[in-house]
Amino acid sequence: MKNLIKKILRENLNEYNEYDSFLSNYETATKYAYENIEDVAESFDAYEEDKNDIQAEYSRDNYIERIELYVDKYNELKNSNKITIYRLIKLNSIKDLDIKDIGKHWSFDENGVGAYGERHPNIKMMKTGEPYILEAIINPKDIDWIYGFHSFIWYGEDQWECALNKGTNVKIIKINGEELKKPINAIVGDH
C-alpha cells in the first residue's frame, strides 16, 4: 500500500520539478499539502468558508505552522553531507538487532522516538523487549522527504519523523547514549 501511495505521489509531483523540490519554500509546500493531504484541504476550505470560525482558524494555522517547520528542516538539512537521526527499538537483547532490516522510521530528534512497530515481524519483542535508542548517521539524500512531510503534517513535532528509503546505509554510532567503539553498519529493509 505504501509503495502505491509513493508511486501516486511521484506521478502527481511533475509540476514541482524534482521529487521533493516543492519543500524548498512555504508557498509550494502549502500548495502541495492542500492538493495532496485531505485534512489540510478540509481545514483551509473550512476557514475560507467562515473566517470567524475560531476552530477552523486554529486548525488552518496549526497546519501552516507544521508546513513551515518542515520546510525549514528540509532546507536546513537537504545539502548536508550527513545528519544524525534516532530510533527506539525494543529487543530481548542487543544481539537481536537486525542490521539487514534496521528500520525505515527514525526521528530527527531523540525526544521523538517511540516503539511504533505494530506491523513489524518482531512484534512480540516490540511489545515486551527492552528499549534501545539508536543514534545513527545518514546522508539526507536517503530521506523519503515526502513520506516524512505527510507524517509531520499528521503528528508534528511529537515524532519529528525521518523516513528513510529502502536500501539506505545507516551507521549506528551510539546505543542508549553510549558511543560505540566500532560503529555498526546497517541497511534499511522493508520495515
Tens of pLDDT, residue by residue over 132-179, are 999 999 999 999 999 999 999 999 888 899 999 999 999 999 999 999
Tell me the sheet residues that pair with 131.
90
* 19 neighbors 146 (Cβ within 8 angstroms): yes
Query: Could you identify the residue written with the cell 514541482?
Result: 16
pLDDT band at 20 (very low <50, low <70, confident <90, very high): confident
- Predicted confidence band of residue 110 (pLDDT cuts 50, 70, 90): very high
pLDDT score of 154: 92
What's the pLDDT score for residue 16? 36
Q: Indicate if 17 and 46 belong to the same structural domain.
A: yes
Looking at 48, 77, 106, which one is the last position of a domain? 77
Instruction: Tell me the H-state helices in the chain.
Output: 2-11, 26-36, 38-49, 54-77, 123-128, 145-155
Q: Please indicate, yes or no, whether residues 122 and 152 belong to a single structural domain of this protein.
A: yes
Looking at the fold, whether 73 and 88 belong to one and the same domain comes out as: no
* Helix and strand totals (H; E) in the chain: 6, 6
Smallest Cα–Cα separation from 62: which of 91, 33, 104?
33
- In eight-state DSSP terms, residue 147 is H
Do residue 179 and residue 145 come from a single domain? yes
pLDDT at residue 112, rounded to an integer: 87
Q: What is the pTM of this model?
A: 0.82
Domain span at 134: 83-187
- Residue 53: predicted pLDDT: 95
Q: What does the alpha-carbon distance between residue 117 and residue 122 come to, in Å, rounded to a whole number?
A: 8
Q: Tell me what pLDDT residue 17 has.
A: 36
pLDDT at 191: 76
Q: Which of 19, 53, 77 is the last residue of a domain?
A: 77
